[in-house]
């Protein structure tokens, strides 16, 4: 088996690395402190084709694959998870369902300009009472003349404060059945939709919102696919995105490890580099092994997406291992830095805050374990 990346994949990695080093890195500190992502980065991503790497050329994308998508995520996350989180919420969760199930008119109206970075997208699923548990969804859609009226609330929605449109999940019937949950495209600003920007400890450079929805009108042509029952599309989107956010976690783990190695080479104690002490050397060795294992699991998951064989349990395994690796690696990086690890001049404190997001977001580690246990034949 050939485990090497193609020339095309290497070119994508080089492009994103150069973009981060020459253009984005200088924006990170201000974006973190202001808790605001510059809108112009979306246009730049669109110009370089980075928002559509996994979408076919015939649909306006770059015609590459999920492996390329994960490379973009990994390199953006290596620099700043805030940037990568906004990219992910836009390029996958916000538009993948439109590409997969939208009408031709919806693709032209929303998907294509989003690929170009001319419109910013978000995905409004999680709620105050039920998190990302779709079965607990309370936001409802009721039939009215010419469309639907939405009522409810959404919480922790990435890109909501800056989005031009949101995909909103709502229940059209009280019963728990596939056709009872659908996606609605809401253009912003929308009468009756109030978006409150939240202040966060992690991924501060991305913007996250609490949304109150009161009698928000959605015309029939903005019901995704102009049909009800797009619940399966939500499930498929979340499964694939778990592989994606695992690549985000991999980027953070690498960044924490590289910072720890650099510090271990520079910091001297009793005339020796601290990395030469076994206690530190063993920490770095374990981090290296764990990150390498996570790396190949992530790209195995991406390969499964490209082969059309990804299942929910595989996606859960990929996300579980990568997110926990990022959390553990960033904690060890802080320990290796000692007191310096909580100083802002070093990146490891920020990385650890950001890594905490992905053992919670996109389904907690416990949810991933439930999915895996069910795949093994156990009730969980």
Alpha-carbon dihedral 187, 189, 190, 195, rounded to 10 degrees: 110
Residue from 131, 196, 185 nearest 161 by CA: 196
> Cα–chain-centroid distance for residue 235?
15
CA-closest candidate to residue 109, choices 60, 66, 69, 175: 60
Active site residues: 362
Nearest-angstrom CA–CA distance, 71 and 59 = 21
Tell me, what DSSP letter sits at residue 57? G
Q: Distance (Å, rounded) from C-alpha 150 to C-alpha 130?
A: 18
Cis ω for the linkage preceding 189 (within 30 of 0): yes
DSSP 132: T
Max CA distance (Å), the chain: 78
Bridging pattern class, strands 165-171 and 121-124:
parallel
Which of 362, 357, 361, 335 shows the shortest CA–CA distance to 346?
A: 335
| Tokens 């999915």 -> residue | 371
> With left for phi above 0 and alpha for psi between -120 and 50, is residue 22 left, alpha or beta?
alpha
């Amino acid at each position: 088996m050939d485990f090497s990346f193609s020339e095309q994949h290497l070119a994508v990695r080089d492009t994103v690395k150069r973009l981060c080093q020459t253009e984005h890195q200088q924006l990170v500190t201000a974006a973190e402190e202001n808790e605001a992502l510059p809108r112009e980065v979306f246009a730049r991503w669109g110009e370089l084709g980075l928002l559509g790497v996994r979408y076919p050329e015939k649909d306006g994308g770059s015609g590459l694959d999920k492996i390329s998508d994960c490379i973009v995520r990994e390199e953006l996350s290596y620099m700043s998870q805030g940037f990568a989180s906004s990219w992910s919420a836009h390029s996958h969760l916000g538009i993948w369902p439109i590409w997969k199930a939208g009408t031709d008119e919806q693709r032209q109206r929303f998907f294509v300009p989003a690929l170009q970075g001319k419109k910013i997208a978000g995905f409004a699923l999680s709620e105050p009472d039920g998190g990302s548990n779709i079965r607990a969804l309370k936001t409802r859609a009721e039939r009215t003349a010419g469309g639907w009226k939405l009522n409810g609330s959404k919480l922790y929605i990435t890109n909501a404060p800056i989005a031009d449109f949101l995909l909103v999940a709502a229940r059209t019937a009280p019963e728990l059945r596939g056709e009872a949950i659908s996606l609605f495209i809401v253009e912003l600003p929308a009468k009756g939709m109030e978006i409150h920007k939240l202040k966060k400890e992690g991924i501060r450079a991305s913007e996250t919102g609490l949304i109150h929805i009161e009698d928000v009108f959605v015309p029939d042509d903005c019901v995704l696919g102009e049909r009800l029952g797009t619940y399966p599309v939500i499930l498929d989107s979340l499964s694939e995105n778990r592989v994606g956010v695992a690549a985000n976690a991999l980027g953070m783990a690498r960044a924490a490890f590289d910072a720890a190695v650099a510090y271990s080479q520079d910091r001297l104690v009793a005339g020796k580099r601290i990395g030469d002490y076994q206690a530190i050397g063993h920490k770095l060795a374990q981090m290296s092994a764990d990150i390498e294992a996570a790396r190949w699991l992530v790209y195995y998951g991406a390969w499964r997406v490209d082969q059309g064989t990804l299942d929910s349990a595989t996606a859960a395994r990929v996300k579980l291992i990568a997110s926990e690796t990022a959390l553990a690696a960033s904690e060890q990086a802080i320990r290796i830095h000692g007191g310096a690890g909580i100083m802002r001049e070093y990146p490891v404190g920020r990385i650890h805050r950001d890594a905490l997001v992905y053992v919670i977001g996109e389904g907690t580690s416990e949810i991933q374990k439930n999915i895996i246990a069910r795949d093994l034949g156990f009730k969980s």
